[in-house]
């Protein structure tokens, strides 16, 4: 009996040093941060119908941009990425492209409607959307930090042993700027 205990203690210590607990903990943290990203995108999607209704009340000439916003939102809500797909760069990139289309359509809406800024409902909704865009940025940063920690853990010794042998862990895909020109600050033009 004592030999079993004597063998079990070093084996337990060896397994503890090989990422048996730390790898799934890091993976679950990254998945939780991904859920935060999706939550913020859902918040934005939920705000858009109210914004569209507010703008519709201002006049029919805005129809084209409203259609673009509505279509971008519809497309973005159809594209889903589960926690299990976070190791698939193409799935994450497709999700990001759909979300970027919503961002671009909202920017066009904001640029096209300076006269709406005096309407209280519009100002409130745009403020909510701006806050949501900030939350999205923070959630994406937190997700990237969690992915970096997970990817580092599964690639460094001793956790790499458990990550590969026990879990078959693969690196997760971080968010990257996918919009053309995302690395360049946009030019602001107030019509002059």
Per residue in 93-152, pLDDT tens? Answer: 999 999 988 888 888 777 766 665 556 667 777 788 888 889 999 999 999 999 999 999
A 10 A CB-CB count for 119 gives 16
The CATH number of the domain where 89 resides is what?
A: 1.20.1440.20
Return the higher-pLDDT residue of 56 and 160.
160
Q: Domain of 95?
A: 18-167
Contact of 41 with 99, CB cutoff 8 Å: yes
pLDDT digits (tens, 9 = 90+) for 45-78: 888 887 777 766 665 555 677 778 888 888 888 9
Contact 138, 41 (CB under 8 A): no
Does residue 180 fall inside a structural domain? no
Instruction: Tell which residue, 102, 103, 105, 127, has the closest CA to residue 116.
Output: 127
- CA dist 114 and 22 (Å) reads 51
Q: Is residue 152 part of a domain?
A: yes
Q: Are 23 and 163 in contact (CB under 8 A)?
A: yes
Residue 182 lies in a domain: no
Contacts of 15 (CB under 8 A, 6+ apart): 162
């Amino acid at each position: 009996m004592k030999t079993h205990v004597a063998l079990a203690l070093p084996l337990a210590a060896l397994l503890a040093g090989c990422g048996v607990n730390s790898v799934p903990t890091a993976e679950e943290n990254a998945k939780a941060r991904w859920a935060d990203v999706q939550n913020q995108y859902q918040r934005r999607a939920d705000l858009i119908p109210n914004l569209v209704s507010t703008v519709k009340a201002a006049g029919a000439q805005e129809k084209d941009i409203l259609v673009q916003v509505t279509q971008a939102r519809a497309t973005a809500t159809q594209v889903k990425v589960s926690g299990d797909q976070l190791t698939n760069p193409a799935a994450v990139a497709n999700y990001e492209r759909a979300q970027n289309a919503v961002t671009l359509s909202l920017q066009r809406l904001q640029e096209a409607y300076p006269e709406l800024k005096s309407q209280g409902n519009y100002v409130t909704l745009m403020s909510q959307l701006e806050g949501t865009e900030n939350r999205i940025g923070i959630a994406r940063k937190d997700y990237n930090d969690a992915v970096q920690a997970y990817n580092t853990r599964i690639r460094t010794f001793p956790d790499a042993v458990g990550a590969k042998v026990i879990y078959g862990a693969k690196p997760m895909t971080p968010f990257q700027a996918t919009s053309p020109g995302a690395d360049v600050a946009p030019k602001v033009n107030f019509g002059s």
